[in-house]
Amino acid sequence: MKPFLPVYACAAYLFLYLPLLALGAFSFNNSKIAVWQGFSLAWYNGVFHNSALLEGTLHSLVIAVVATVAATSIGTLAAYALWKKRVAWLTGSLYLSLLSPEIVTGVSLLVFFQWMFHFLRLQLGLHTVILAHISFCLAYVVIVILARLRTFDRSLEEAALDLGANEWQAFRYVTAPLLLPGIVAAALLCFTVSFDDYVITSLVAGVNSETLPMIIYAMARKGVSPEVNALSVMITVGLGTLVLISGRLERQR
């Protein structure tokens, strides 16, 4: 019993990290095949010279930033309102949105946009992707902020009101500043979720708005591409850093 758990845990962590570590190791490989042939930064170089990849990254960043700003603001306000008074249908729908399979969310948004395009003369593009991302990121933001608010001392807002602050001022000068670490944590989480999305994005993106995950997917389907390895490492390290910062902020008191 005693030695089993730690050994098992080691094996489990290995299982979790091995594929990524292997990918990372071979991204520095001086060869296309899975045999080590020396250290090389060629693939990283290749990524920076691949215009399609760079354009895809740009699209993903723009989408993630806009969707994050929107979803974080809307979500924070909504979470605050829900904390003050429960609204069953909204909480329920956010919960459902979180658990819905991405394919259903993606399909429903595609269908919705195409239906809307009967009335507006628009096409699928970055704007539809951004709207889609705001929709599915909202639940993540609300959950993070609500969790923060649950530990919040309600008498602080009462004290603010007592001292002459109206409801907005109480929020602006007392609750919001104290909520800031949580808001940033939610934003970082939102960014990560948005940047990585493939399923929903691929359905509502249209022709000229390829995102990075869409490009990686296409490359992964085709076969071995060491540039994808290098790219993967960079994305993993980048997103991983954001997640670590987000976790740090969430725990801050």
Using CB under 8 A as the binding rule, the residues of this chain from 161 to 190 that contact other proteins are 161-169, 171, 173-174, 177-178, 189
Structure-token pair, residue 75: 């979500």
Are 52 and 118 a contacting pair, CB within 8 Å? no
For the chain, the maximum distance between any two Cα atoms, rounded to a whole number of angstroms, is 72
41-49, 51-59, 99-107, 119-127 -> range binding other proteins (CB under 8 A): 99-107
Contact in structure between 204 and 121 (CB atoms under 8 Å) = no
Number of residues that this document lists for the chain: 253
Q: State the minimum distance, in angstroms, from the CB of residue 172 to other proteins.
A: 10
Of the candidates 100, 168, 178, 180, the one whose C-alpha atom is nearest the C-alpha of residue 139 is 100
C-beta of 17 vs 48, nearer to other proteins: 17
Interaction residues for other proteins, span 30-89 (CB under 8 A): 33-35, 73-75, 77-78, 80-82, 84-85, 87
Least distance in angstroms from the C-beta of 185 to other proteins: 12
Out of 55, 62, 112, 127, which residue is the one contacting other proteins (CB under 8 A)?
112
Task: List the one residue from 53, 66, 109, 205 that touches other proteins (CB under 8 A).
Answer: 109
User: What residues are paired with 29 via a beta bridge?
Assistant: 39
Among the listed residues 8, 37, 45, 208, the single contact to other proteins using CB under 8 A: 8
Nearer to other proteins, 114 or 208 (CB): 114
By CB under 8 A, tell whether 128 contacts other proteins: no
Site for other proteins in 13-32 (CB under 8 A): 13, 15-20, 22-23, 26
Interaction residues for other proteins, span 79-98 (CB under 8 A): 80-82, 84-85, 87, 90, 93-98
Q: How far is CA 203 from CA 8, 92, 130, 214, 218, in A?
A: 40, 25, 13, 10, 14
Task: Tell me whether residue 54 or residue 192 sits nearer to other proteins (CB atom).
Answer: 192
CA distance 137 to 220: 26
- Nearest CB to other proteins, comparing residues 54 and 244: 244
Task: Return the amino acid letter for 223.
Answer: G
Distances (CA, A) of 31 to 95, 105, 155: 47, 40, 64
Q: Give residues 187-246 in contact with other proteins (rule: CB under 8 A).
A: 189, 192, 195-196, 198-199, 203, 213, 216-217, 220-221, 224, 228-229, 232, 235-236, 239-240, 243-244
Distance from C-alpha of 47 to C-alpha of 166, rounded to nearest angstrom: 54
> Closer to other proteins at the Cβ: 23 or 62?
23
Total residues in contact with other proteins, by rule CB under 8 A: 105
- Residue 64 has phi, psi (to 5 degrees) of -60, -45
Task: For the CB of residue 41, give the shortest distance to other proteins in the complex, in Å.
Answer: 19
Q: Is 137 helix (H, G, I), strand (E, B) or coil?
A: helix
Written as one letter, the residue type at 214 is M
